[in-house]
Structure 1
């Protein structure tokens, strides 16, 4: 097992880009390799040691044996764990844009907040954010229609708008509240939100399931009442209680399932 610890000593005004520093690429690196590495900052590169103290312990025969620990506020470090396929990354602080984007395996834990596009186009692995994240978590990128297709995102705080936009697989679990248009354009997969949702979940969704345990502010007209379901089993997961099931979005001939906690959403009965 190899443990790589990068401790922040100076925060950059321009975001550092960490997409080259994933276990898949650095599992053979020793301390000297990190000390010689030039990290992208805007359109230039600077020594990683300008920003981080570096410690490397142990050895690894493959990326699955690597644990990377980023200590400090990484709110100006983009692409943490981008495209990683194995191993583990722990961020003991905040993370900037695109954390866990396009990852295919391994696990990322952010012990703070994450900026927009966390888990963008994720295909596998696990992303756990202990704080909040902003818009477009688990979504597609600008100009594309393919969002998250596999893996799991667990968000302990609140999510911004368009959570799981273009979701085509995988699972997103939000323990806090969520802003507008969760699951917009989704075609597959599962979104669970334990807190309140402002309005319009599942806009233009074709398939998949969204379950809301909190209060929904406003439902789209494209969803029609289906039935009352007790103790539903959704995508292999069991839920206790009574849920109002809607089907939609009919605006796109959708057959997605929207489940609302009946106790919290009596106005939709």
Structure 2
């Protein structure tokens, strides 16, 4: 097992890019390799050690044996864990854009907030965010229609708009509240939101499941109430209590399922 610790010395006004610093690429690196490395910042590169003190302990023969610990404010560090396939990354602070994007395996733990596009186009592994996320978590990227299709994202705080946009697989769990249009264009997969949702989850949804355990502010007209089910099994998971089951978005002949806690959403019953 090898532990690589980044202790931040200073921040940058322009975001550093960490997509090359993933366990798959650096598992064989020693301290001297990090001291030689030039990190991308905008259109230039600068010594990584201008920004971090780096400690390397132990040895590894594969990416699975790597633990990266990032201490400090990473609010100006993009692409942490992008395309990683194995290993573990722990960030003790906030992170910038694209954390865990296109991730294939391994695990990332963020002990802070995450900027936009966390877990976008994710294929596997687990991304856990202890704080809040901004918009487009687990989504597709600009101009594409393929969002997250595997793995698990867990958000312990609140999520921004268009959570799981174009979701085609995998699971997203939100312990807090969620903004508008969760699961828009969703074709498969599972989203569970334990807090309140402002409005319009599942817009243009074709398939998959969205569970809302809090109160929904406004439901889209494209969802039809099908039944009230007690203790349903949803996506292989058992839920206790009564849930209102809706199907939609009928504007696209969608067969997606939206499940609302009946007690919290009496105002939507008819």
CA shift, 1:224, in A, is: 0.2
Q: Which residue of 2 aligns with 1:230?
A: 230
Unaligned stretches of 5+ residues in structure 1 = none
Distance 1:8 1:248 in 2: 48
CA–CA distance in structure 2, aligned partners of residues 113 and 26 of structure 1: 25
CA distance in 2, matches of 1:194, 1:120: 21
CA deviation string 1:34-64 (max 9, x = no partner): 0100000000000000000000000001000
Equivalence for 2:80: 80
Match of 1:201 in 2: 201
Shift of 1:267: 1.0
Q: TM-score, normalised by structure 2?
A: 0.99
Aligned to 2:94: 94
Deviation digits for residues 199-236 of structure 1 (CA, Å, limit 9, x no counterpart) = 00000000000000000000000000000011111111
In structure 2, the residue matched to 1:32 is 32
Match of 1:141 in 2: 141
Aligned positions, number: 269
CA distance in 2 between counterparts of 1:236 and 1:61 reads: 37
Paired residue for 2:69? 69
Equivalent positions of 1:95-174 (< 5 A) are: 95-174=95-174
The Cα shift of 1:185 comes to 0.1
* Distance in 2 separating the partners of 1:13 and 1:28: 31
**SS of residue matched to 2:54:** strand
| 1:147-186 deviation digits (Å, cap 9, x = unpaired) | 0000000000000000000000000000000000000000
Partner SS state of residue 196, structure 1: coil
1:268, CA displacement in angstroms? 1.4
What TM-score do the two structures reach when normalised by structure 1? 1.00
Give the unaligned 5+ runs of structure 2.
none
Q: Which runs of 4+ in 1 moved over 2 A?
A: none
Which residue does the alignment assign to 1:219?
219
Secondary structure of residue in 1 paired with 2:210 = strand
Structure 2: how far apart are the matches of 1:201 and 1:45?
42
Whether 1:10 and 2:14 are equivalent positions in the alignment is no
